[in-house]
Chains A and B, each alone.
Chain A
Amino acid sequence: MDIDLPYTLLPLADLPAHEERAWHVAWNPAKPLLASCSADKSVRLYTYADDGAGSLKFSAVTTIPTGHSKTVRAVAWAPSGNTLATASFDSNIGIWEQEPDEGDDGEGGEKGDWECVSTLEGHETECKSVAYSCTGTLLASCSRDKTVWIWEVHPDADFECMSVLMEHTQDVKCVAWHPTEEILASASYDDTIKLYVDDPSDDWFAFTTLTGHTSTVWSVAWAPWGSYLVSGSDDKSVRVWKRMAEHKWVGVLVLAGHERSVYSVAWGKGRGRKGEEEGRYLGWIASTGGDGSVRVWELNKKAHRGALIAHMPSAHGVHDVNTVTWCPREGYEDLLATTGDDGSTRVWKVVPTS
Protein backbone atom coordinates (compact mmCIF):
# COMPACT_ATOMS: atom_id res chain seq x y z
CA MET A 1 0.00 0.00 0.00
CA ASP A 2 1.24 3.52 -0.75
CA ILE A 3 1.01 5.51 2.48
CA ASP A 4 1.19 8.83 0.71
CA LEU A 5 -1.96 8.35 -1.33
CA PRO A 6 -5.08 10.19 -0.11
CA TYR A 7 -7.26 7.07 0.03
CA THR A 8 -6.81 3.47 1.11
CA LEU A 9 -8.57 0.30 -0.02
CA LEU A 10 -9.90 -1.22 3.19
CA PRO A 11 -10.67 -4.95 2.91
CA LEU A 12 -14.26 -5.58 3.98
CA ALA A 13 -14.83 -9.17 2.97
CA ASP A 14 -13.09 -12.23 1.53
CA LEU A 15 -15.99 -14.37 0.37
CA PRO A 16 -16.01 -18.19 0.04
CA ALA A 17 -14.22 -19.05 -3.16
CA HIS A 18 -15.23 -20.87 -6.30
CA GLU A 19 -13.40 -24.10 -6.98
CA GLU A 20 -11.61 -22.63 -9.97
CA ARG A 21 -10.75 -19.17 -11.19
CA ALA A 22 -13.48 -16.57 -10.81
CA TRP A 23 -13.84 -14.46 -13.92
CA HIS A 24 -16.45 -11.83 -13.12
CA VAL A 25 -18.57 -10.30 -10.38
CA ALA A 26 -21.58 -7.96 -10.56
CA TRP A 27 -23.51 -5.99 -7.95
CA ASN A 28 -27.29 -6.18 -8.08
CA PRO A 29 -28.40 -2.59 -8.74
CA ALA A 30 -31.57 -2.81 -6.63
CA LYS A 31 -30.93 -5.31 -3.84
CA PRO A 32 -28.08 -6.14 -1.46
CA LEU A 33 -26.77 -8.97 -3.64
CA LEU A 34 -23.55 -9.80 -5.45
CA ALA A 35 -23.10 -12.47 -8.12
CA SER A 36 -19.78 -14.03 -9.13
CA CYS A 37 -19.11 -16.59 -11.84
CA SER A 38 -16.35 -19.03 -12.52
CA ALA A 39 -14.58 -21.65 -14.59
CA ASP A 40 -16.22 -24.11 -12.20
CA LYS A 41 -19.43 -23.40 -14.21
CA SER A 42 -21.34 -22.00 -11.26
CA VAL A 43 -22.61 -18.65 -10.09
CA ARG A 44 -22.32 -17.72 -6.43
CA LEU A 45 -24.61 -15.22 -4.77
CA TYR A 46 -23.67 -13.20 -1.71
CA THR A 47 -25.63 -10.74 0.36
CA TYR A 48 -24.68 -7.86 2.66
CA ALA A 49 -26.26 -5.92 5.48
CA ASP A 50 -25.45 -3.36 8.13
CA ASP A 51 -23.76 -5.13 11.00
CA GLY A 52 -25.07 -2.63 13.50
CA ALA A 53 -21.55 -1.40 14.23
CA GLY A 54 -21.23 1.04 11.32
CA SER A 55 -19.86 -1.52 8.89
CA LEU A 56 -21.20 -4.11 6.48
CA LYS A 57 -21.34 -7.85 6.90
CA PHE A 58 -21.13 -9.99 3.78
CA SER A 59 -22.23 -13.62 3.61
CA ALA A 60 -22.79 -16.36 1.07
CA VAL A 61 -26.37 -17.01 -0.05
CA THR A 62 -26.28 -19.83 -2.54
CA THR A 63 -24.42 -21.48 -5.42
CA ILE A 64 -26.29 -21.85 -8.72
CA PRO A 65 -24.94 -24.85 -10.68
CA THR A 66 -26.14 -23.19 -13.96
CA GLY A 67 -25.95 -26.21 -16.21
CA HIS A 68 -23.62 -24.41 -18.62
CA SER A 69 -21.28 -27.03 -20.05
CA LYS A 70 -18.24 -24.76 -19.85
CA THR A 71 -16.88 -21.79 -17.93
CA VAL A 72 -19.34 -19.06 -16.97
CA ARG A 73 -17.40 -16.01 -18.08
CA ALA A 74 -19.66 -13.10 -17.15
CA VAL A 75 -22.84 -12.19 -15.28
CA ALA A 76 -25.10 -9.18 -15.57
CA TRP A 77 -28.11 -8.02 -13.56
CA ALA A 78 -31.18 -6.44 -15.15
CA PRO A 79 -31.84 -2.91 -13.79
CA SER A 80 -34.85 -4.25 -11.86
CA GLY A 81 -32.54 -6.55 -9.94
CA ASN A 82 -34.87 -9.48 -10.57
CA THR A 83 -33.09 -11.14 -13.48
CA LEU A 84 -29.53 -12.36 -13.94
CA ALA A 85 -27.89 -13.15 -17.27
CA THR A 86 -24.90 -15.50 -17.59
CA ALA A 87 -22.47 -15.62 -20.52
CA SER A 88 -20.64 -18.92 -21.01
CA PHE A 89 -17.78 -20.39 -23.01
CA ASP A 90 -20.36 -22.96 -24.16
CA SER A 91 -21.55 -20.09 -26.45
CA ASN A 92 -24.92 -19.68 -24.74
CA ILE A 93 -26.45 -17.03 -22.52
CA GLY A 94 -28.59 -18.09 -19.58
CA ILE A 95 -31.37 -15.94 -18.16
CA TRP A 96 -32.14 -16.61 -14.48
CA GLU A 97 -34.96 -15.60 -12.20
CA GLN A 98 -35.87 -16.54 -8.70
CA GLU A 99 -38.85 -18.83 -8.23
CA PRO A 100 -41.49 -16.94 -6.27
CA ASP A 101 -41.85 -18.39 -2.80
CA GLU A 102 -45.50 -18.51 -1.67
CA GLY A 103 -44.91 -17.38 1.84
CA ASP A 104 -42.36 -14.68 1.08
CA ASP A 105 -43.39 -11.20 0.04
CA GLY A 106 -40.32 -9.43 1.40
CA GLU A 107 -36.95 -8.60 -0.13
CA GLY A 108 -33.75 -10.56 -0.20
CA GLY A 109 -32.58 -13.55 -2.16
CA GLU A 110 -33.02 -16.23 0.43
CA LYS A 111 -36.16 -18.16 -0.33
CA GLY A 112 -36.80 -19.25 -3.93
CA ASP A 113 -34.39 -21.21 -6.09
CA TRP A 114 -32.84 -19.56 -9.10
CA GLU A 115 -34.04 -21.19 -12.28
CA CYS A 116 -33.12 -20.79 -15.91
CA VAL A 117 -36.08 -19.14 -17.64
CA SER A 118 -34.42 -18.85 -21.02
CA THR A 119 -31.30 -19.87 -22.95
CA LEU A 120 -30.14 -17.58 -25.76
CA GLU A 121 -28.33 -19.48 -28.46
CA GLY A 122 -26.71 -18.18 -31.57
CA HIS A 123 -23.09 -17.33 -30.96
CA GLU A 124 -20.74 -19.75 -32.69
CA THR A 125 -18.00 -19.70 -30.11
CA GLU A 126 -17.42 -18.63 -26.50
CA CYS A 127 -19.51 -15.78 -25.09
CA LYS A 128 -17.35 -13.28 -23.26
CA SER A 129 -19.70 -10.63 -21.91
CA VAL A 130 -23.35 -9.73 -21.52
CA ALA A 131 -25.02 -6.47 -20.48
CA TYR A 132 -28.49 -4.98 -19.98
CA SER A 133 -29.27 -1.47 -21.22
CA CYS A 134 -30.24 1.20 -18.67
CA THR A 135 -33.98 0.57 -19.09
CA GLY A 136 -33.59 -3.21 -19.17
CA THR A 137 -35.34 -3.50 -22.53
CA LEU A 138 -32.19 -4.49 -24.43
CA LEU A 139 -29.52 -7.09 -23.80
CA ALA A 140 -26.16 -7.15 -25.58
CA SER A 141 -23.79 -10.11 -25.86
CA CYS A 142 -20.46 -10.69 -27.57
CA SER A 143 -18.20 -13.58 -28.47
CA ARG A 144 -14.95 -14.89 -29.92
CA ASP A 145 -16.98 -15.23 -33.13
CA LYS A 146 -16.29 -11.46 -33.58
CA THR A 147 -19.95 -10.50 -33.31
CA VAL A 148 -22.05 -8.40 -30.96
CA TRP A 149 -25.70 -9.41 -30.66
CA ILE A 150 -28.47 -7.12 -29.50
CA TRP A 151 -31.58 -8.76 -28.07
CA GLU A 152 -34.89 -7.17 -27.21
CA VAL A 153 -36.25 -8.24 -23.83
CA HIS A 154 -39.94 -9.16 -23.92
CA PRO A 155 -42.22 -10.28 -21.09
CA ASP A 156 -42.20 -13.91 -20.01
CA ALA A 157 -38.49 -14.32 -20.63
CA ASP A 158 -38.95 -14.00 -24.35
CA PHE A 159 -35.94 -12.59 -26.20
CA GLU A 160 -35.83 -11.47 -29.80
CA CYS A 161 -32.56 -10.98 -31.61
CA MET A 162 -32.67 -7.48 -33.13
CA SER A 163 -29.20 -7.29 -34.62
CA VAL A 164 -26.00 -9.22 -35.24
CA LEU A 165 -23.16 -6.72 -35.55
CA MET A 166 -20.09 -7.97 -37.40
CA GLU A 167 -17.92 -4.88 -37.22
CA HIS A 168 -14.91 -6.16 -35.28
CA THR A 169 -12.22 -8.18 -37.03
CA GLN A 170 -11.41 -10.31 -34.00
CA ASP A 171 -12.94 -11.61 -30.74
CA VAL A 172 -15.13 -9.18 -28.85
CA LYS A 173 -14.15 -9.22 -25.19
CA CYS A 174 -16.63 -6.89 -23.49
CA VAL A 175 -19.87 -4.98 -24.08
CA ALA A 176 -21.22 -2.11 -21.98
CA TRP A 177 -24.27 0.15 -22.29
CA HIS A 178 -24.31 3.92 -21.74
CA PRO A 179 -25.88 4.76 -18.35
CA THR A 180 -28.78 6.79 -19.76
CA GLU A 181 -28.89 6.45 -23.54
CA GLU A 182 -29.10 3.47 -25.88
CA ILE A 183 -25.49 3.56 -26.97
CA LEU A 184 -23.44 0.39 -26.81
CA ALA A 185 -19.66 0.06 -26.50
CA SER A 186 -17.65 -3.03 -27.39
CA ALA A 187 -13.99 -3.86 -26.69
CA SER A 188 -12.05 -6.26 -28.89
CA TYR A 189 -8.97 -8.43 -29.46
CA ASP A 190 -8.56 -6.31 -32.62
CA ASP A 191 -7.25 -3.48 -30.34
CA THR A 192 -10.25 -1.21 -30.93
CA ILE A 193 -13.43 -0.04 -29.22
CA LYS A 194 -16.59 0.46 -31.23
CA LEU A 195 -19.70 2.44 -30.35
CA TYR A 196 -23.12 1.56 -31.74
CA VAL A 197 -26.53 3.21 -31.97
CA ASP A 198 -29.81 2.20 -33.51
CA ASP A 199 -30.86 3.89 -36.73
CA PRO A 200 -34.66 3.78 -36.43
CA SER A 201 -35.18 3.47 -40.16
CA ASP A 202 -32.53 0.85 -40.64
CA ASP A 203 -30.55 -1.15 -38.12
CA TRP A 204 -27.94 -0.93 -35.40
CA PHE A 205 -24.58 0.21 -36.69
CA ALA A 206 -21.14 1.20 -35.40
CA PHE A 207 -20.87 4.99 -35.69
CA THR A 208 -17.27 5.22 -34.57
CA THR A 209 -14.17 3.18 -33.83
CA LEU A 210 -11.82 4.28 -31.07
CA THR A 211 -8.21 3.47 -31.85
CA GLY A 212 -5.15 4.09 -29.73
CA HIS A 213 -4.59 0.95 -27.72
CA THR A 214 -1.71 -1.14 -29.06
CA SER A 215 -3.11 -4.50 -28.02
CA THR A 216 -6.34 -6.28 -27.05
CA VAL A 217 -8.88 -4.09 -25.29
CA TRP A 218 -10.21 -6.25 -22.44
CA SER A 219 -12.72 -3.97 -20.83
CA VAL A 220 -14.73 -0.82 -21.40
CA ALA A 221 -16.91 1.16 -18.98
CA TRP A 222 -18.95 4.35 -19.14
CA ALA A 223 -18.67 7.29 -16.76
CA PRO A 224 -21.76 7.52 -14.53
CA TRP A 225 -22.70 10.93 -15.97
CA GLY A 226 -22.16 9.90 -19.61
CA SER A 227 -19.87 11.76 -22.04
CA TYR A 228 -16.79 9.76 -21.02
CA LEU A 229 -15.61 6.22 -21.47
CA VAL A 230 -12.71 4.29 -19.93
CA SER A 231 -10.96 1.26 -21.38
CA GLY A 232 -8.33 -1.21 -20.16
CA SER A 233 -5.98 -3.12 -22.43
CA ASP A 234 -3.36 -5.83 -22.74
CA ASP A 235 -1.00 -2.93 -23.53
CA LYS A 236 -1.10 -2.21 -19.74
CA SER A 237 -2.73 1.17 -20.16
CA VAL A 238 -6.07 2.57 -19.07
CA ARG A 239 -7.44 5.14 -21.51
CA VAL A 240 -10.14 7.75 -21.09
CA TRP A 241 -12.20 8.91 -24.07
CA LYS A 242 -14.44 11.97 -24.29
CA ARG A 243 -17.48 12.72 -26.36
CA MET A 244 -16.82 15.83 -28.46
CA ALA A 245 -19.93 15.78 -30.61
CA GLU A 246 -22.89 13.45 -30.92
CA HIS A 247 -20.97 10.78 -32.78
CA LYS A 248 -17.41 11.91 -32.21
CA TRP A 249 -15.25 10.56 -29.44
CA VAL A 250 -11.54 11.19 -28.85
CA GLY A 251 -8.92 9.88 -26.48
CA VAL A 252 -8.06 12.45 -23.80
CA LEU A 253 -6.00 10.65 -21.18
CA VAL A 254 -3.70 7.65 -20.81
CA LEU A 255 -3.27 6.28 -17.28
CA ALA A 256 -0.16 4.18 -16.87
CA GLY A 257 1.06 2.18 -13.91
CA HIS A 258 -0.10 -1.38 -14.34
CA GLU A 259 2.74 -3.82 -14.93
CA ARG A 260 0.75 -6.43 -16.82
CA SER A 261 -2.46 -6.59 -18.86
CA VAL A 262 -5.38 -4.58 -17.55
CA TYR A 263 -8.33 -6.99 -17.44
CA SER A 264 -11.04 -4.79 -16.05
CA VAL A 265 -11.99 -1.13 -15.60
CA ALA A 266 -14.96 0.48 -13.86
CA TRP A 267 -16.12 4.07 -13.40
CA GLY A 268 -18.15 5.01 -10.36
CA LYS A 269 -19.46 8.20 -8.78
CA GLY A 270 -17.09 7.73 -5.88
CA ARG A 271 -16.89 10.06 -2.91
CA GLY A 272 -14.31 12.47 -4.18
CA ARG A 273 -13.77 16.21 -4.00
CA LYS A 274 -16.84 18.35 -3.99
CA GLY A 275 -17.26 22.04 -3.30
CA GLU A 276 -15.32 24.29 -5.64
CA GLU A 277 -14.19 21.35 -7.66
CA GLU A 278 -17.68 19.96 -7.90
CA GLY A 279 -18.33 21.12 -11.42
CA ARG A 280 -15.16 19.46 -12.58
CA TYR A 281 -15.24 16.23 -10.60
CA LEU A 282 -15.81 13.24 -12.86
CA GLY A 283 -15.80 10.34 -10.42
CA TRP A 284 -13.47 7.44 -9.67
CA ILE A 285 -12.01 4.93 -12.09
CA ALA A 286 -10.92 1.55 -10.77
CA SER A 287 -8.61 -0.71 -12.78
CA THR A 288 -7.07 -4.12 -12.23
CA GLY A 289 -5.29 -6.91 -14.07
CA GLY A 290 -2.49 -9.43 -14.35
CA ASP A 291 -0.23 -7.58 -11.94
CA GLY A 292 -2.75 -8.34 -9.19
CA SER A 293 -3.15 -4.71 -8.18
CA VAL A 294 -6.24 -2.54 -7.89
CA ARG A 295 -5.75 1.14 -8.69
CA VAL A 296 -8.25 3.93 -8.12
CA TRP A 297 -7.96 7.17 -10.04
CA GLU A 298 -9.87 10.38 -9.43
CA LEU A 299 -10.82 12.15 -12.64
CA ASN A 300 -11.10 15.87 -13.03
CA LYS A 301 -12.38 17.76 -16.06
CA LYS A 302 -9.73 20.46 -15.71
CA ALA A 303 -7.06 19.53 -18.26
CA HIS A 304 -8.41 16.01 -18.03
CA ARG A 305 -6.25 15.06 -15.15
CA GLY A 306 -6.41 11.66 -13.58
CA ALA A 307 -4.70 11.26 -10.25
CA LEU A 308 -3.98 7.95 -8.55
CA ILE A 309 -5.75 8.14 -5.19
CA ALA A 310 -5.56 4.55 -3.95
CA HIS A 311 -3.53 1.44 -4.71
CA MET A 312 -3.75 -2.12 -3.39
CA PRO A 313 -0.77 -4.09 -4.75
CA SER A 314 -1.78 -7.72 -4.23
CA ALA A 315 -5.52 -7.65 -3.91
CA HIS A 316 -5.77 -11.43 -4.38
CA GLY A 317 -2.26 -12.41 -3.30
CA VAL A 318 -0.15 -13.64 -6.21
CA HIS A 319 -3.18 -14.18 -8.43
CA ASP A 320 -4.45 -12.14 -11.35
CA VAL A 321 -7.50 -10.02 -10.59
CA ASN A 322 -10.05 -10.45 -13.38
CA THR A 323 -12.80 -7.98 -12.53
CA VAL A 324 -13.23 -4.82 -10.52
CA THR A 325 -16.66 -3.21 -10.16
CA TRP A 326 -18.18 -0.32 -8.20
CA CYS A 327 -21.39 -0.81 -6.27
CA PRO A 328 -24.07 1.07 -8.24
CA ARG A 329 -26.45 1.56 -5.32
CA GLU A 330 -26.91 4.93 -3.71
CA GLY A 331 -25.08 5.25 -0.43
CA TYR A 332 -22.50 2.63 -1.41
CA GLU A 333 -20.39 4.64 -3.84
CA ASP A 334 -17.16 3.77 -2.05
CA LEU A 335 -17.58 -0.01 -2.33
CA LEU A 336 -15.62 -2.09 -4.81
CA ALA A 337 -15.83 -5.81 -5.53
CA THR A 338 -12.99 -7.78 -7.11
CA THR A 339 -12.65 -11.35 -8.24
CA GLY A 340 -9.58 -13.31 -9.24
CA ASP A 341 -7.75 -16.43 -10.30
CA ASP A 342 -7.80 -17.68 -6.70
CA GLY A 343 -11.56 -18.13 -7.15
CA SER A 344 -12.48 -15.69 -4.41
CA THR A 345 -14.55 -12.52 -4.42
CA ARG A 346 -13.38 -9.65 -2.22
CA VAL A 347 -15.06 -6.43 -1.22
CA TRP A 348 -13.18 -3.21 -0.50
CA LYS A 349 -14.12 0.20 0.83
CA VAL A 350 -12.23 3.25 -0.42
CA VAL A 351 -11.63 5.34 2.68
CA PRO A 352 -9.59 8.49 3.24
CA THR A 353 -6.14 7.57 4.53
CA SER A 354 -6.08 8.54 8.20
Chain B
Amino acid sequence: MAGEIFNPNPIVFSPTKVSGRNSDLLAQSLWINDSDESEDEAEGIDAIDQDEIFDLIRSIYDPEHPNTLEELRVVSAPQVSVGNNHVTVEFTPTVPHCGMSTLIGLSIRVRLLRSLPNRFKVDIYVKPGSHQSEHAVNKQLNDKERVAAALENPVLLDTVEQCLVNAGLRGQAPPV
Protein backbone atom coordinates (compact mmCIF):
# COMPACT_ATOMS: atom_id res chain seq x y z
CA MET B 1 0.00 0.00 0.00
CA ALA B 2 1.10 3.60 -0.54
CA GLY B 3 2.99 5.21 2.33
CA GLU B 4 0.78 8.26 2.30
CA ILE B 5 -2.46 7.97 4.25
CA PHE B 6 -5.26 9.71 2.39
CA ASN B 7 -7.48 10.45 5.31
CA PRO B 8 -5.61 10.49 8.61
CA ASN B 9 -8.66 11.51 10.66
CA PRO B 10 -11.75 9.70 9.49
CA ILE B 11 -15.04 10.22 11.23
CA VAL B 12 -16.07 6.95 12.84
CA PHE B 13 -19.77 6.31 13.36
CA SER B 14 -21.21 3.71 15.70
CA PRO B 15 -22.75 0.81 13.82
CA THR B 16 -26.52 0.55 13.33
CA LYS B 17 -28.39 -2.46 14.62
CA VAL B 18 -27.26 -5.87 13.52
CA SER B 19 -29.92 -7.58 11.43
CA GLY B 20 -29.67 -10.90 13.20
CA ARG B 21 -29.32 -12.87 10.00
CA ASN B 22 -26.88 -15.63 10.68
CA SER B 23 -26.39 -17.45 7.45
CA ASP B 24 -23.50 -16.48 5.31
CA LEU B 25 -24.41 -17.61 1.86
CA LEU B 26 -22.35 -20.45 0.49
CA ALA B 27 -18.77 -19.33 0.37
CA GLN B 28 -17.44 -19.87 -3.08
CA SER B 29 -14.07 -19.34 -4.59
CA LEU B 30 -13.90 -16.93 -7.46
CA TRP B 31 -15.77 -18.03 -10.56
CA ILE B 32 -16.26 -21.63 -9.65
CA ASN B 33 -19.27 -23.35 -11.19
CA ASP B 34 -21.98 -23.87 -8.71
CA SER B 35 -25.13 -25.82 -9.20
CA ASP B 36 -28.53 -24.22 -9.45
CA GLU B 37 -29.84 -26.37 -6.58
CA SER B 38 -27.48 -24.97 -4.00
CA GLU B 39 -28.27 -21.42 -5.01
CA ASP B 40 -31.96 -21.93 -4.49
CA GLU B 41 -31.41 -23.63 -1.14
CA ALA B 42 -29.37 -20.71 0.11
CA GLU B 43 -31.95 -18.26 -1.07
CA GLY B 44 -34.65 -20.02 0.88
CA ILE B 45 -32.89 -19.05 4.09
CA ASP B 46 -32.59 -15.32 3.52
CA ALA B 47 -34.03 -13.26 0.71
CA ILE B 48 -31.39 -11.40 -1.24
CA ASP B 49 -32.55 -7.87 -0.72
CA GLN B 50 -31.06 -4.52 0.14
CA ASP B 51 -30.49 -5.45 3.79
CA GLU B 52 -28.86 -8.76 2.92
CA ILE B 53 -26.39 -7.09 0.56
CA PHE B 54 -25.62 -4.46 3.19
CA ASP B 55 -25.10 -7.20 5.77
CA LEU B 56 -22.59 -8.85 3.46
CA ILE B 57 -20.51 -5.73 2.98
CA ARG B 58 -20.87 -3.74 6.18
CA SER B 59 -17.96 -5.42 8.02
CA ILE B 60 -15.42 -5.07 5.23
CA TYR B 61 -12.45 -3.17 6.64
CA ASP B 62 -11.28 0.09 5.24
CA PRO B 63 -7.77 -0.52 3.90
CA GLU B 64 -6.23 2.31 5.93
CA HIS B 65 -8.01 2.23 9.25
CA PRO B 66 -9.15 -0.42 11.73
CA ASN B 67 -12.76 0.45 11.01
CA THR B 68 -15.46 -1.13 8.93
CA LEU B 69 -17.03 0.47 5.88
CA GLU B 70 -20.23 0.79 7.94
CA GLU B 71 -18.48 2.65 10.76
CA LEU B 72 -17.00 5.10 8.27
CA ARG B 73 -20.36 5.47 6.47
CA VAL B 74 -18.72 4.33 3.24
CA VAL B 75 -21.55 1.88 2.68
CA SER B 76 -25.13 1.99 3.94
CA ALA B 77 -28.28 0.03 3.24
CA PRO B 78 -30.07 2.84 1.34
CA GLN B 79 -27.15 2.97 -1.06
CA VAL B 80 -27.78 -0.59 -2.20
CA SER B 81 -30.41 -1.43 -4.76
CA VAL B 82 -31.46 -4.92 -5.79
CA GLY B 83 -33.38 -5.60 -8.99
CA ASN B 84 -34.03 -8.73 -10.97
CA ASN B 85 -30.74 -10.62 -10.60
CA HIS B 86 -29.04 -7.25 -10.48
CA VAL B 87 -27.32 -5.49 -7.58
CA THR B 88 -26.07 -1.93 -7.60
CA VAL B 89 -23.89 -0.74 -4.74
CA GLU B 90 -23.05 2.90 -4.31
CA PHE B 91 -20.29 3.73 -1.86
CA THR B 92 -19.03 7.02 -0.49
CA PRO B 93 -15.28 7.50 -0.11
CA THR B 94 -14.46 9.43 3.04
CA VAL B 95 -12.58 12.16 1.18
CA PRO B 96 -12.89 13.28 -2.48
CA HIS B 97 -9.28 12.50 -3.34
CA CYS B 98 -9.33 9.10 -1.70
CA GLY B 99 -6.78 6.93 -3.47
CA MET B 100 -8.11 3.86 -1.74
CA SER B 101 -11.47 4.08 -3.51
CA THR B 102 -10.60 1.52 -6.15
CA LEU B 103 -9.39 -0.87 -3.48
CA ILE B 104 -12.55 -0.38 -1.43
CA GLY B 105 -14.70 -0.96 -4.51
CA LEU B 106 -12.68 -4.04 -5.38
CA SER B 107 -13.16 -5.46 -1.88
CA ILE B 108 -16.91 -4.96 -2.16
CA ARG B 109 -16.91 -6.68 -5.54
CA VAL B 110 -14.90 -9.69 -4.30
CA ARG B 111 -17.10 -10.05 -1.21
CA LEU B 112 -20.25 -10.11 -3.34
CA LEU B 113 -18.66 -12.37 -5.99
CA ARG B 114 -17.96 -14.93 -3.28
CA SER B 115 -21.27 -14.61 -1.47
CA LEU B 116 -23.95 -14.21 -4.10
CA PRO B 117 -25.30 -16.82 -6.52
CA ASN B 118 -23.87 -16.62 -10.04
CA ARG B 119 -27.05 -15.21 -11.49
CA PHE B 120 -26.43 -11.77 -9.98
CA LYS B 121 -24.81 -9.06 -12.04
CA VAL B 122 -23.17 -6.50 -9.78
CA ASP B 123 -22.45 -2.87 -10.57
CA ILE B 124 -20.41 -0.75 -8.16
CA TYR B 125 -20.17 3.03 -8.29
CA VAL B 126 -18.90 5.83 -6.10
CA LYS B 127 -21.63 8.18 -4.96
CA PRO B 128 -21.93 10.86 -7.64
CA GLY B 129 -20.06 13.98 -6.64
CA SER B 130 -18.10 12.26 -3.90
CA HIS B 131 -14.85 11.70 -5.76
CA GLN B 132 -12.71 13.83 -8.02
CA SER B 133 -11.97 10.93 -10.40
CA GLU B 134 -15.45 9.48 -10.22
CA HIS B 135 -15.64 8.35 -13.85
CA ALA B 136 -12.19 6.75 -13.83
CA VAL B 137 -12.86 4.86 -10.59
CA ASN B 138 -16.27 3.64 -11.77
CA LYS B 139 -14.88 2.51 -15.10
CA GLN B 140 -12.16 0.41 -13.46
CA LEU B 141 -14.48 -1.15 -10.93
CA ASN B 142 -16.90 -2.27 -13.61
CA ASP B 143 -14.37 -3.56 -16.12
CA LYS B 144 -14.46 -7.33 -15.67
CA GLU B 145 -11.09 -7.87 -17.28
CA ARG B 146 -9.32 -5.24 -15.19
CA VAL B 147 -10.85 -6.74 -12.03
CA ALA B 148 -9.81 -10.27 -13.00
CA ALA B 149 -6.26 -9.19 -13.74
CA ALA B 150 -6.02 -7.20 -10.50
CA LEU B 151 -7.01 -10.26 -8.52
CA GLU B 152 -4.19 -12.24 -10.13
CA ASN B 153 -1.77 -9.78 -8.56
CA PRO B 154 -0.79 -11.53 -5.32
CA VAL B 155 0.03 -8.36 -3.38
CA LEU B 156 -3.26 -6.74 -4.34
CA LEU B 157 -5.22 -9.90 -3.63
CA ASP B 158 -3.62 -10.14 -0.22
CA THR B 159 -4.63 -6.57 0.57
CA VAL B 160 -8.20 -7.34 -0.45
CA GLU B 161 -8.20 -10.46 1.74
CA GLN B 162 -7.12 -8.39 4.71
CA CYS B 163 -10.04 -6.05 4.15
CA LEU B 164 -12.35 -9.06 3.96
CA VAL B 165 -11.00 -10.97 6.93
CA ASN B 166 -13.95 -10.14 9.20
CA ALA B 167 -16.55 -9.45 6.52
CA GLY B 168 -18.53 -12.45 7.76
CA LEU B 169 -19.32 -10.63 11.01
CA ARG B 170 -22.16 -8.80 9.28
CA GLY B 171 -22.03 -5.81 11.60
CA GLN B 172 -21.40 -7.61 14.85
CA ALA B 173 -18.45 -6.58 16.96
CA PRO B 174 -15.32 -8.68 16.44
CA PRO B 175 -14.56 -11.16 19.24
CA VAL B 176 -12.19 -9.64 21.80
Contact = CB atoms under 8 A, between A and B. Distances in A.
Interface of B is mostly: loop
8 shortest interchain CB distances as A-B pairs: A318-B119, A126-B149, A70-B152, A21-B31, A20-B31, A89-B149, A318-B118, A89-B152
A333 interface: no
Interface in B65-102: 85
Classify chain B's interface size.
Answer: 10 to 19
Contacts of A216: 139, 143
Interface of B: 30-33, 85, 117-119, 121, 139, 142-146, 148-149, 152
Nearest to B123: A260
A290 B121 CA distance: 8
30 contacts: A19-B32, A20-B30, A20-B31, A20-B32, A21-B31, A21-B148, A39-B31, A70-B152, A73-B145, A89-B148, A89-B152, A126-B149, A128-B145, A144-B146, A144-B149, A171-B146, A189-B143, A215-B139, A216-B143, A234-B143, A260-B121, A261-B144, A290-B144, A318-B117, A318-B118, A318-B119, A319-B118, A320-B144, A343-B31, A343-B33
Interface residues of A, number: 28
Contacts, number: 49
Residue of B31, B118, B119, B145 ringed by the most chain A CB atoms within 10 A? B145
Contacts of A39: 31, 148
A20 B28 CA distance: 12
Given A89-B148, A173-B145, 10 more contacts: A21-B31, A71-B148, A128-B145, A144-B146, A189-B143, A216-B143, A318-B117, A318-B118, A341-B31, A343-B33
Interface SS, A side: loop
Contact of B152 (A19, A71, A128, A189): A71
B33 A342 contact: yes
Nearest to B143: A216
A341 B144 CA distance: 11
A193 B6 CA distance: 36
